Structure 1
Amino acid sequence: MNKVRTPSPTTKLSSQELAALDAHWRAANYLSAGQIYLLANPLLTEPLRPEHVKPRLLGHWGTSPGLNLVYTHLNRVITARDLNAICIWGPGHGGPAVVANSWLEGSYTETYPDMTRDGAGMARLFRQFSFPGGIPSHVAPETPGSIHEGGELGYSLSHAYGAAFDNPGLLVACVIGDGEAETGPLAASWHSNKFLSPVSDGAVLPILHLNGYKIANPSVLSRLPDHELDELLRGYGHHPLHVTGHDPAAVHRAMAQAMDTALDHIAVIQATARDEGIRDRPRWPVIVLRTPKGWTGPAEVDGVPVEGTWRAHQVPLSEVRTNPGHLRQLEQWLRSYLPAELFDEHGRPRPQVLTCIPPGRRRLGANPHANGGLLLRALPIPPLERYAVPVERPGGSLHEPTRVLGDLLEEVMAATADRRDFRLVGPDETASNRLDAVYRVTDKAWEAEVLPTDEHLAPGGRVMEILSEHTCEGWLEGYLLTGRHGLFSCYEAFVHIVDSMANQHIKWLRTARRLAWRAPVASLNYLLTSHVWRQDHNGFSHQDPGFVDHILNKSPEVVRVYLPPDANTLLACADHVLCSRDYVNVLVAGKQPCFDWLDLEQARAHCARGAGIWEWASTDGGGEPDVVLACAGDVPTMEVLAAADLLHRYAPDLRVRVVNVVDMTRLLPQGEHPHGMPDHEYDAMFTHDKPVIFAYHGYPWLIHRLTYRRANHPHLHVRGYKEEGTTTTPFDMVLRNDLDRYRLVMDVIDRVPGLAVRAAPLRQAMADVRFRHHGWIREHGTDLPEVADWTWSR
């Protein structure tokens, strides 16, 4: 580890500087408490009365004074050093603090002109907080300068590193609260410093804010003695700087010195790497800030300690409207900040309060990196014709779809080499998922030790691999929200690990789309491969297709799910999602050799439709079918086509229509999703009353949920994964779940009126093959020859 020259500044604040910092901090504390409590009388120009207080007291005071301290001191160093900086506010419900500071610096008024920086605007600011029609109690998309939802405990540090990657001139401060510091995702994200290049990336300054408590319990890290906490942080690769205290003046001085020490240290690290070419992994600074929970609030309430305890977490005085003693104590508390010294008679902040605020876009609430769509450039996608596989006839060749996509991603990486705004992330699976062509133009980011046997590890690489899906997701979210592009590749079964992170990002996007001032950002794109039907070698633990269900439960205007059946449709879908904005897109595609069904022109048209009739595979002659065989997913598509082939050979008079679905949201009614299919179009494709046998990649009840309002839903029969998994052969997986071609033929015979008697011998033959299969695989360890060697012959 590089022994960087660590500066030891002695920051001496003048009395004027100290007074200005304290004035700004007190103003922010006053505004934070006012948002939680006050409905009227914002400047306390008259004695406080019960009707001045909100009827429902919501919000979190405990963390706010510490966040206000951090914001105040970030303002000081940004102004003094002309820093380009943003801050990630991790503590769960620190909304009043960040809103207060944004209002003080003027960015809130610029974003919301009715929130004027005066008494009238202050009144509106107070009223809207945690009030019907107003804003949430946490840092949210509505808050200028934020890229992180305040309720997302566990993800702040990975978001911060994602924002810093490929942003060499950016400082990303990150406040980590007591509760968040105990989460698994946060614990893993400390290792992000092993991936941060001091040459091509920005810097992250973690600020571990320990006020001692969570909602009702002490926090683990706050109870560690300093030397033990130092050992932990040094083990993570950080140099800890401590700020501890209760006296405001002493804490201001200590915080100023810690900030200057940390930033000087960062400057030396970057200069050493950029100017001197020394690339040993540095020890980055971290500030440990210990201040009382609910600092400067009521020390006691009803004879019980509050400040410095868990009781300060939310609303310290809860009976203000009904308890005169609480009302008096609230007024004393608010007046203790001396609001008349902080705001003039019109409610405008006095000059001393604004002394340390940075100018223009240097303000934390106005930095364009926190509204990343302002910085976003179109991703240079090469022409798909360069990578499309030739298809002379359906099923006449095989390719690995994700390997074909990997060739396309290689050129995307090459085209963005200079601008550095595209990254591929995944948990140790890039090569396994057949995307390793990208290594021809970039390496895997790595700042730790490299051994002679290692491959494709290098500082500044733009492939990110760490075996923590949480960290991968957090990196990519931070990267996207600051104006860049990316793709998350993951084994299908284990993407569930980030279910809650996906939830929060979807909610963020849904809210941001409704804010005119937030510019659209690149979509969060998942590529799920090594999927349920080809995890026969790894077994039951690796077989779970349920992430699609999870995503399709979410806001329709934000989520999209695509199941391309072959290589060219995967290319067409990838081209679409990589260019899209403000969506969460899920692509599910196999990495094993797969039949090529459509050429590029057909694939583009099919993906644009989202669902379509494959006339070349159908035998209805363009007229009304007797049965519809529908499919979604690569393996279900192969099984449906194999079933259609069997029916063509053994029931040639049966009119079969084959329908393939790429865009799962097309199955929804038009009024339920922007991609939803109108009833008349759905009925024309699937018929109004004919049997539909649907082979689906995932859990079958999802198809029923998407289509239950359709007229022919009573005639719909779905086959899919039903938790019958094990280590076995590929075909045994589909057979165990009744998704196999023979079962589908039997379903057709069972459901087409009048066919059961005529086709009884065929049904018996299909059942016999299924029975023979069981003995064959146990003797030979491979699938039946007629299955393994099957090809589409028509």
Structure 2
Amino acid sequence: MSTLQQKRTLSADQLRTIDAYWRAANYLSVGQIYLYDNPLLRRPLELSDIKKMLLGHWGTTPGQNFIYAHLNRVIKENDLDMIYVSGPGHGGPAVVANTYLEGSYTEIYPHISQDEEGLRKLFIQFSFPGGIPSHVSPECPGSIHEGGELGYSLSHSFGAVFDNPELIVACVVGDGEAETGPLATAWHSNKFLNPVDDGAVLPILHLNGYKIANPTVLARIGHEELEQLLRGYGWTPYFVEGDDPALMHEAMATAMDDCIHQIQAIQRDARENGNRERPRWPMIVLRSPKGWTGPKVVDGVPNEGTFHSHQVPLSDPAGKPEHLPLIEEWLRSYRPEELFDENGRLMPELAELAPTGKRRMGANPNANGGALLRDLVMPDYRDYATDVPEPGAPGIGDTRVLGPFVRDVIKLNMEAKNFRVFGPDETISNGLAAVFDVTSRQWEARTEANDEFLETSGRVLEMLSEHQCEGWLEGYLLTGRHGLFNCYEAFIHIVDSMFNQHAKWLKVTNELPWREKIASLNYLLASHVWRQDHNGFTHQDPGFIDVVVNKKASVVRVYLPPDANCLLSVMDHCLRSRQYVNVVVAGKHPAPQWLTMEAAEKHCAEGIGVWDWASSDDGGEPDVVFACCGDVPTLETLAAVSIIREHLPDLKVRFVNIVDLMKIQPESEHPHGLDDPAFDALFTEDKPVIFVFHAYPWLIHRLTYRRTNHENFHVRGYKEEGTITTPFDMTVLNELDRFHIVMDTIDRLPQTGEIGQALKRLMAEKLVQHREYICKNGQDMPEIRNWRWKATQK
């Protein structure tokens, strides 16, 4: 039976002091929400002591203070390497309070001193202009999990312990958070945890009964059903339930000891005895009242143990004068005079309860992962170059060229165990099968004879949940390692909100000098919109780029390499980079190759450039500029240029290719952006620009609307047209194909006269022929399938 068996764990003195420490954390938490002055209640509370704007979340906070106090005890008694992840992240007062009590907060922010004046500043800054957010945030030491990231706490926690054998992450899962799809999936992370090489996660499911205004599902199902659910996920749950502090302290201490001892026994059995049977890891279910120890009743309505305690229980002391004495009574119920000395410092016997040095959860270096980050050992990407004797040489698929490079990144860092590939069961599909030459997928569940590439210590983590893969990778990066997330382009949207939060985390940590830079979050998006003709409309969406570009320019980078050699150069750069989100979009299907490695290196270093071999302006003023960004847009634009040059040989054409999308922004908007003279030198000040783009066309207009020649930009991109069809027909449906590009060009060049109009009619006929051919034959016309850029076209 996993329900807790009562036994004596704490001595009377331990019970007294741990309860006092909990009261101190609760006092500091309430103080953060309410107090502008009078931090130790040296005098009766006055309205002027209360903040004018009351913000914060009390309901989850006392439970988290309770958990943190008990974690301190087991850390100190067992010399544990542990960090704390707050799933109910709006309980920011709890983590701030506890890191202040242990001293780590003051070490980072010396002006928040451990005295009465420091307490006053601690209280004022909370949810205050120029201060700190009300949730767990990057500003808070010990945090790797943003308070707005509801649903991802367990995934982050497991990511943190992969390849981190001594680390335990205490992950508090809110019962509201437990209703999210990502969290429900994340319970299965225990099927991927290797007890030999990885650390452990101790989930603490905090059932306080309510969300913002509704009961929570897991708090309202029966004990037996909840236990069966958790055991079905593969956990051994220990239950701590009640509201009497003395009994709850004893029960929690017993549960904590049992769980830590069980974790240590599992790891010892695997590491010393070689037991490879998948273990059933322990977890704790804490059922306590929402708003525990807060006001019982407010304005005649029950508060403690109800959703009314979720945020600020006594929210209007100015409008309701009767609230002021209730706030004072609440604060004094924690007996601050017993907790802090005459100078406002925590009593020495209570301060001794916290761990010391780096064992404090607010000072653990795993929660400031850049401090632990080691550079990857990188192979020379030039060694993996594809041979391009002339532009248009056939290629096997760009990501398939990249695969051996990623394989050797894994191989060279195998001993260090600081690089992994993550993906939702798509690593082979996305063209990276070569990685399985040197590793397998990590897997702790049952295996069968016909399985492939499964082992307990693989460097690839795959689960058919983009949320899970993203969360694992983020936790891995935040604790000082490197990784790559490969995914179908259309379905990376599933993690839009996770990307948002990580980008915000990076933006804020860039402004915190004590936060060390972490490895970049690298996305490889393959199986992209233009080559999902076999899967159809549901798999055709390039809009993740739009989401990414919304974020701060200091954080985001977007690369669309036109061929394999450019992809190798870009990926080498991304894996070496720090503190960015890098999005790389590349194809996996056989495609023409354009640049030698030497040319690709130069092109990628510049991010944008003229391809002289495809141009006919001889360095002078062109009649028209063709610009393209993306592999299929590059192919179709070059094919259109070849038609133009054949039929309109006197037309002066300039061909511009963009690898780094941010290059087209002004330098005032993005550090990679071109200044106006450089932009105008490429795109002219007054000539037509036919811009063929991988994604939605309006993004190009958005990025270039301030440019001199913007009114002459005509952008072709994805127009939300798609189905199961041929590869070329996907471009036709969205009018991004070579024939439409030629027609667009003629429409903007009246000087082409009747010759141009005749060519336009020919292109319209080609589109009719195309439609008739694919409907009859089920594949593209031979002139499309077999098209090559010929040397005579240079």
TM-score, normalised via structure 2 length: 0.99
Who is 2:535 aligned against?
A: 538
Provide the C-alpha distance between the structure 2 equivalents of 1:430 and 1:756, rounded to a whole number of angstroms. 51
Whether 2:223 is the aligned partner of 1:230: answer no
Is contact 2:3-2:238 (8 Å) kept? Answer: no
Letter in 1 for 2:91: G
Who is 2:277 aligned against?
A: 280
Query: How far is 1:325 from its partner?
Result: 1.4
Who is 1:499 aligned against?
A: 496
Who is 2:323 aligned against?
A: 326
Is contact 1:11-1:256 (8 Å) kept? Answer: no
Who is 2:634 aligned against?
A: 637
Who is 1:261 aligned against?
A: 258
Provide the C-alpha distance between the structure 2 equivalents of 1:253 and 1:461, rounded to a whole number of angstroms. 41
Who is 1:660 aligned against?
A: 657
CA deviations 1:675-704 (Å, max 9, x no partner) are 111000000001110000011111111111
**Which residues of 2 match residues 126-141 of structure 1 at below 5 A?**
126-141=123-138
Letter in 2 for 1:600: M
Who is 2:699 aligned against?
A: 702
Gaps of 5+ in 1: none
Is contact 2:204-2:286 (8 Å) kept? Answer: yes
Letter in 1 for 2:192: F
Who is 1:469 aligned against?
A: 466
Who is 2:66 aligned against?
A: 69
Letter in 1 for 2:358: R
Whether 2:570 is the aligned partner of 1:606: answer no
Whether 2:363 is the aligned partner of 1:366: answer yes
Who is 2:520 aligned against?
A: 523
CA deviations 1:140-180 (Å, max 9, x no partner) are 00000000001111000000000010000100110000110
Q: 1:175 aligns with which of 172, 181, 184?
A: 172
Query: How far is 1:711 from its partner?
Result: 0.7
Provide the C-alpha distance between the structure 2 equivalents of 1:673 and 1:604, rounded to a whole number of angstroms. 22
CA deviations 1:546-586 (Å, max 9, x no partner) are 00011001111101000000000000000111111110110
Is contact 2:106-2:114 (8 Å) kept? Answer: yes
Whether 2:443 is the aligned partner of 1:446: answer yes
Whether 2:555 is the aligned partner of 1:575: answer no
Number of aligned positions between the proteins: 791
Who is 1:409 aligned against?
A: 406
Root-mean-square deviation (CA, aligned residues, Å) is 1.3
Between the aligned residues of both structures, percent identity stands at: 62
Is contact 1:177-1:210 (8 Å) kept? Answer: yes
Who is 1:300 aligned against?
A: 297
Who is 2:743 aligned against?
A: 746
Query: How far is 1:773 from its partner?
Result: 0.5
Is contact 1:27-1:353 (8 Å) kept? Answer: no
Provide the C-alpha distance between the structure 2 equivalents of 1:557 and 1:410, rounded to a whole number of angstroms. 30
Who is 1:676 aligned against?
A: 673
Q: 1:28 aligns with which of 25, 29, 47?
A: 25
Q: 1:790 aligns with which of 769, 787, 792?
A: 787
Letter in 2 for 1:300: V
Query: How far is 1:355 from its partner?
Result: 2.4
Is contact 2:394-2:590 (8 Å) kept? Answer: no
Is contact 2:3-2:237 (8 Å) kept? Answer: no
Is contact 1:399-1:596 (8 Å) kept? Answer: no
Gaps of 5+ in 2: none
Provide the C-alpha distance between the structure 2 equivalents of 1:292 and 1:218, rounded to a whole number of angstroms. 12
CA deviations 1:208-229 (Å, max 9, x no partner) are 0010000000000001111110
**Which residues of 2 match residues 48-63 of structure 1 at below 5 A?**
48-63=45-60
Query: How far is 1:596 from its partner?
Result: 1.1
Who is 2:563 aligned against?
A: 566
Query: How far is 1:6 from its partner?
Result: 13
Query: How far is 1:392 from its partner?
Result: 1.5
Provide the C-alpha distance between the structure 2 equivalents of 1:88 and 1:623, rounded to a whole number of angstroms. 60
Provide the C-alpha distance between the structure 2 equivalents of 1:753 and 1:682, rounded to a whole number of angstroms. 25
Whether 2:196 is the aligned partner of 1:202: answer no
Query: How far is 1:321 from its partner?
Result: 2.5
Provide the C-alpha distance between the structure 1 equivalents of 2:428 and 2:437, rounded to a whole number of angstroms. 12
TM-score, normalised via structure 1 length: 0.99
Q: 2:308 aligns with which of 293, 298, 311?
A: 311
Who is 1:85 aligned against?
A: 82
Query: How far is 1:330 from its partner?
Result: 0.5
Letter in 2 for 1:499: D
Who is 1:242 aligned against?
A: 239
Query: How far is 1:271 from its partner?
Result: 1.0
Q: 2:341 aligns with which of 341, 344, 347?
A: 344
Who is 2:105 aligned against?
A: 108
Q: 1:96 aligns with which of 89, 93, 99?
A: 93
Query: How far is 1:602 from its partner?
Result: 1.0
Q: SS where residue 390 of structure 1 aligns?
A: coil
Who is 1:155 aligned against?
A: 152
Query: How far is 1:755 from its partner?
Result: 1.8
Is contact 2:633-2:693 (8 Å) kept? Answer: yes
Q: Which runs of 4+ in 1 moved over 4 A?
A: 5-11
Letter in 2 for 1:393: E
Query: How far is 1:387 from its partner?
Result: 0.5
Letter in 2 for 1:619: S
Is contact 2:441-2:455 (8 Å) kept? Answer: yes
Q: SS where residue 754 of structure 1 aligns?
A: helix
Rate the CA distance shift 1:8–1:213 in 2: closer, same or farther, 3 A.
Answer: closer
Who is 1:187 aligned against?
A: 184
Provide the C-alpha distance between the structure 1 equivalents of 2:719 and 2:730, rounded to a whole number of angstroms. 11
Q: SS where residue 205 of structure 1 aligns?
A: strand
Query: How far is 1:436 from its partner?
Result: 1.2
Provide the C-alpha distance between the structure 1 equivalents of 2:678 and 2:3, rounded to a whole number of angstroms. 69
Rate the CA distance shift 1:310–1:7 in 2: closer, same or farther, 3 A.
Answer: closer
Q: SS where residue 595 of structure 1 aligns?
A: coil
Query: How far is 1:10 from its partner?
Result: 4.6
Who is 2:432 aligned against?
A: 435
Who is 1:123 aligned against?
A: 120
Provide the C-alpha distance between the structure 2 equivalents of 1:604 and 1:339, rounded to a whole number of angstroms. 65
Q: SS where residue 204 of structure 2 aligns?
A: strand
